[in-house]
């Protein structure tokens, strides 16, 4: 019966171990520590003064930095009559399942995408590379993997050196269907890859987006958020590359955004770029000053002065 509960727990984590997830040490140690404290025992008393396992090793087990053999674990649990082995492993299994669920959520494409964006605005190349490594392990989400590759390349200053295959993959995933301007993933990829799109092709693609999402079409706030972010990226690239095509139309789109609080920042940025293109340095400085006072320094570093 004792072995049954041991085998049951390790059967639960077996698949995760095969995937490279190794959290059992942490949870076994944590549960042992909880049981020991509930019994009011010292580590010396728990290990029978080191007869079952040395106190030093046991301390590492409790801290999750040393593994413990099944036989040793059973000796620790059975030598103290107050410990219910079934309860121990049931609790262990439940806690492991909860933590694994939380871990899976934190590694979901949506969360990783958000973390990628935040790391980019912090100019944190090391963190971006770590996030990219996690994204690369996802079974699907080719679009997110490409965005991660672009983000790392931008931060590392190697964006113009992207290999031919990556560029081809970007194109294939962006234009995955004829109505690519209505596909969320295609729009995300378009927004992130603007910097490497030919300057003669970029305005035509932006025109297609504007044609699809005319502000007069009563767009939802969520859609306005997505398209206005693309517009901001486009104005940024246009100013850097001295492209004037569609600039006024994009600014007009941003001015026409609804007055939802979530859209206010992009409306302000639309005016910021209008001032840049028209040489209104006074208002450019005013907006930058407000951003500094609002502690938006990381974002400000990404904004053209």
* List of residues 6+ apart from 250 with CB closer than 8 A: 206, 210, 231, 234, 235, 270
CA dist 248 and 235 (Å) reads 10
Confidence of residue 71 (pLDDT cuts 50, 70, 90): confident
Could you report the per-residue pLDDT of 23-32, keeping only the tens digit for each? 456 778 888 8
Determine the pLDDT at residue 268.
Answer: 95
Domain ranges of the chain: 2-105, 197-302
Contact between 61 and 28 (Cβ < 8 Å): yes
DSSP 157-203: T-GGG--HHHHHHHHHHHTSSTTGGG-HHHHHHHHHHGGGS-TTTHH
CA dist 93 and 13 (Å) reads 9
CA 127 to chain centre: 10
Determine the pLDDT at residue 136.
Answer: 92
Q: What angle do CA 127, 129, 133 make, to 5 degrees?
A: 115
State the chain's mean pLDDT as an integer: 85
From 22, 19, 5, 26, select the one nearest 70 (Cα to Cα). 5
Top mean pLDDT of 138-152, 203-217, 231-245 is at 231-245
Determine the pLDDT at residue 190.
Answer: 95
Burial of 176: CB neighbours in 10 Å, binned 0-12, 13-18, 19+: middle
Contact between 201 and 217 (Cβ < 8 Å): no
CATH number of 2-105: 1.10.260.40
Range scoring the smallest mean pLDDT among 86-100, 202-216, 275-289: 86-100
Residues in the chain: 305
Is residue 13 scored above 50 in pLDDT?
no
Could you report the per-residue pLDDT of 239-290, keeping only the tens digit for each? 999 999 999 999 999 999 999 999 999 999 999 999 999 999 999 999 999 9
């Amino acid at each position: 019966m004792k072995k049954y509960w041991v085998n049951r727990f390790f059967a639960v984590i077996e698949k995760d171990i095969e995937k490279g997830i190794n959290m059992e040490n942490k949870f076994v140690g944590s549960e042992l520590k909880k049981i020991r404290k509930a019994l009011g025992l010292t580590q010396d008393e728990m290990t029978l003064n080191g007869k079952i396992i040395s106190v030093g090793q046991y301390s590492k087990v409790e801290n999750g930095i040393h593994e413990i053999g099944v036989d040793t674990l059973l000796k620790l649990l059975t030598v103290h009559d107050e410990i219910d082995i079934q309860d121990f492993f049931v609790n262990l299994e439940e806690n492991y399942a909860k933590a694994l669920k939380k871990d899976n959520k934190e590694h979901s494409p949506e969360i990783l995408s958000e973390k990628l964006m935040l790391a980019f605005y912090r100019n944190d190349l090391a963190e971006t590379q770590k996030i990219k490594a996690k994204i690369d392990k996802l079974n699907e989400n080719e679009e997110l993997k490409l965005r991660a590759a672009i983000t790392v390349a931008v931060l590392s200053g190697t964006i113009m050196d992207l290999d031919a295959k990556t560029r081809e993959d970007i194109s294939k995933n962006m234009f995955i269907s004829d109505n690519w301007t209505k596909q969320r993933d295609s729009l995300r990829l378009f927004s992130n890859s603007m910097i490497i799109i030919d300057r003669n092709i970029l305005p035509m693609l932006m025109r297609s987006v504007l044609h699809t999402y005319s502000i007069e079409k009563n767009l939802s706030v969520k859609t306005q958020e997505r398209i206005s972010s693309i517009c901001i990226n486009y104005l940024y690239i246009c100013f850097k590359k001295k492209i004037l095509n569609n600039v006024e139309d994009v600014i007009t789109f941003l001015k026409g955004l609804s007055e939802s609080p979530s859209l206010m920042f992009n409306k302000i940025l639309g005016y910021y770029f209008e001032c840049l293109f028209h040489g209104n340095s006074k208002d450019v400085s005013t907006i930058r000053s407000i951003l500094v006072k609002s502690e938006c320094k990381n974002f400000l570093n990404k904004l053209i002065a």
